[in-house]
Structure 1
Amino acid sequence: MRLYSGPVIEPYPSNTPQNITRNASMIMRYQKGSRMSQAVSYGGLVHIAGQVANDRKAGIEEQTRDVLGKIDVLLKEAGTDRSKLLAVNVFLPAIVDFDAMNAVYDAWIDAENPPARACVEARLADPDLRVEMTAIAAL
């Protein structure tokens, strides 16, 4: 017995060759490299890869500013901005840097539209890195 008598609506297009090609063409990649893209947009979202500072000898505040600046550039390239951030993940190799990182982050974030956020202590790829961030934003 069918409980719903309305039309059956497919949530996703079928995987016909035409739709696969069309869907793949909607994927946009930004600052592509041989290993990864710095950002990828699809389905109304942009996913920003882990961003780290260029100056690995700088302190936590300067590295945080550099990382947030890179996120701004990638958001702009994708056609969005920080007011549309949905989530930010922060990775700190030393949780003692939490307050200093937050001071810079809090000045940068759109206080009217704060994203969901997590901050974890984690070993980073280079011991001189003080912060790494990923982000997801709506387009």
Structure 2
Amino acid sequence: MKKIISTPKAPAAIGPYSQANFVNGVLYISGQIPVNSETGNVEEGIEKATHQVMKNLEAILTEAGLSFSHVVKATIFLKNMDDFAAMNEIYASYLNPESYPARETVQVSCLPKNVDIEISVIAHQF
């Protein structure tokens, strides 16, 4: 059974997709960009942007009754791979170092709203 997960504490979907789908104990969260759901503003600069993306992901995880400790897979899209070190430090600060998820990070030429970063995750209800 599929359950749609949605919270006003993360940006609303800007297209034909859900913030997240919960299927058989697995939560699939759509890519989150650094939009502040309270103001609608896009956070600029990789540090602020990464924090905002992680807060958006956390809000969706919380709505589903999960946390970052449940995340088993992450996909990170960066507009500039030179931002990797700064992003990686902030990303890691939200996670338990004893249970990091699997992950890939790729550089892309363009992201929605011309942001610098987008992250999607998959979490598992243990």
Name the TM-score class by shorter chain: 0.7 to 0.9
Specify the SS of the correspondent of 2:96. Answer: coil
Separation of aligned partners in 2, 1:109 and 1:63? 17
Q: Structure 2: which amino acid aligns with 1:124? A: L
1:133 aligned onto 2:122 = no
Q: What residue is the counterpart of 1:40 in the other structure?
A: 21
Residue correspondence of structure 1 range 80-91 to structure 2 within 5 A: 80-91=66-77
User: Structure 1 residue 84: deviation in Å?
Assistant: 1.1
Aligned letter for 1:27? K
Distance 2:3 2:53 in 1: 22
Give the superposition deviation at 1:57: 5.0
Scaled by the length of structure 1, the TM-score of the pair is 0.76
| Matching residue of 2:59 | 73
Equivalent residue, structure 2, for 1:102? 88
What is the 5 A alignment of 1:24-39? 26-31=1-6, 35-39=16-20
- Could you say which residue in structure 2 is the equivalent of 1:115? 101
* Higher-Rg member (1/2): 1
What residue is the counterpart of 1:23 in the other structure?
none
Q: CA deviation at 1:126?
A: 2.6
Deviation track 1:53-101 (CA, whole Å, cap 9, x = no partner) reads 1143521010000000111111111111111111000000111110110
**Cα RMSD, aligned residues only:** 1.5
3-state SS of paired residue (2:32): strand
In structure 2, runs of 5+ residues without a counterpart are 7-11, 36-40
